[in-house]
Amino acid sequence: MYIVTGGAGFIGANLIATLNQRGDTNILVVDDLKQGDKFLNLRDLEIADYMDRTEFREHLRAGHFRNTRVRAVFHQGACSDTMEYDGHYMMDNNFTYSKELLHFALERNTPFVYASSAATYGGSTTFVEQRENEHPLNVYGYSKLLFDRYVQGLIPRTIMTVAGLRYFNVYGPREEHKGRMASMIHQMYHQLRTTGVVKLFTGSGGYGDGEQRRDFIHVDDVVKINIFLADSGNVHGIFNVGTGKSRSFNDVARTLIRIAGGGDIHYVPMPEGLKAKYQSFTEADITALRATGYDAPMHSLEQGIEAFVSAQQSRTP
């Protein structure tokens, strides 16, 4: 059995879809369906069981899975809202819960692959997995960083894979439920569809209008990396997950407009409250990831956006 936490979410559901494609259906999904429309991400997938996150944690603590063979744990469940300022909730959900699941995997020598975040770098301009570059700007980023460091402290004693994945700007299908936390590519696509216009920020951080840059990675690449590391059996560490190439928001907008057959870009001033925390540039250094042996090519921005738009058009409402 595979355990996928956050399985009704964006990356978790895409991970399950890929496991299904290779014939794996013995999957326990763990999530919180207070936001009920997340079920749409699961309705076309094959799973063995579903558990609410709270119930799952109770079962872990009670040892109810001690006789269950678990092939790998994909820990994608987290509060990913960077605007959430309830530190108690954030630390319990992203740190304490993650520790409980990590120790469950370590006790069983089960591969454990989990979602970290590029938010651990915060205000840094260098994106290499080293402490001097880690400067989170919010409690979300701190919760992820603290767990990464906890994991690093245990790695010398681990046998099976324990891998933390610092996701950069992931986009793709099955993120409709995320609202304002959906990827910028998702949001720009829907802006263009509904208004014919893509709104981008005017210049900041030394970059011109719409020229701020991000490392955009398609969710299919993220899923492949998760599965590769879980299958490898003996990889330990924290790894950036991006393409290693930054692209501008203008590049995204122009690609969407080309695919749509028309549209405009409008530049709007950045809100004052955002300027101090806005990252004008991100680009993953993926040297450590490549050193694990993962050598598959990543989607280019153009390839990824075309795949994203195709998936949006084919999914049933």
Task: Tell me the pLDDT band of 81, cut-offs 50, 70 and 90.
Answer: low
Locate 267 and state its tokens.
Answer: 């530049």
Which tops the pLDDT comparison, 153 or 66?
153
User: Tell me, what's the pLDDT at 153?
Assistant: 95
Task: Tell me the pLDDT band of 80, cut-offs 50, 70 and 90.
Answer: low
Question: Could you confirm whether 199 is annotated as catalytic?
Answer: no
Q: Would you say residue 274 has pLDDT above 90?
A: no
How many angstroms separate the first and last alpha carbons of the chain? 30
Average pLDDT over residues 12-30: 98
Q: Is residue 88 part of a domain?
A: yes
Locate 242 and state its tokens.
Answer: 């991006």
Range of the domain at 111: 2-172+217-244+283-298
Q: Is residue 124 part of a domain?
A: yes
Q: Is residue 207 part of a domain?
A: no
How many whole angstroms separate alpha carbon 84 and alpha carbon 189? 25
pLDDT tens, position by position, 220-256: 999 999 999 999 989 999 999 999 999 999 999 999 9
Q: Is residue 72 part of a domain?
A: yes
Q: Is residue 15 part of a domain?
A: yes
Q: Is residue 52 part of a domain?
A: yes
User: Tell me, what's the pLDDT at 84?
Assistant: 62
Q: Is residue 193 part of a domain?
A: no
pLDDT tens, position by position, 178-220: 888 889 999 999 999 999 999 999 998 899 999 999 999 999 9
Least reliable range by pLDDT among 56-70, 74-88, 94-108: 74-88
Q: Would you say residue 277 has pLDDT above 80?
A: no
pLDDT tens, position by position, 117-174: 999 999 899 999 999 999 998 889 999 999 999 999 999 988 899 999 999 999 999 9
How many whole angstroms separate alpha carbon 245 and alpha carbon 283? 6
Question: Could you confirm whether 178 is annotated as catalytic?
Answer: yes
Catalytic choice (50, 150, 178, 207): 178
**CA separation (Å) from 73 to 12, 76, 131, 228?**
11, 9, 26, 13
How many independent structural domains does the chain possess?
A: 1
Catalytic choice (121, 140, 142, 189): 140
How many whole angstroms separate alpha carbon 51 and alpha carbon 277? 37
Locate all alpha helices (DSSP H) within the chain, ordered by sequence: 10-21, 53-62, 87-91, 97-108, 139-154, 184-195, 219-232, 249-260, 272-275, 287-291, 301-314
The CATH number for 17's domain is 3.40.50.720
Task: Tell me the pLDDT band of 78, cut-offs 50, 70 and 90.
Answer: confident
Q: Is residue 268 part of a domain?
A: no
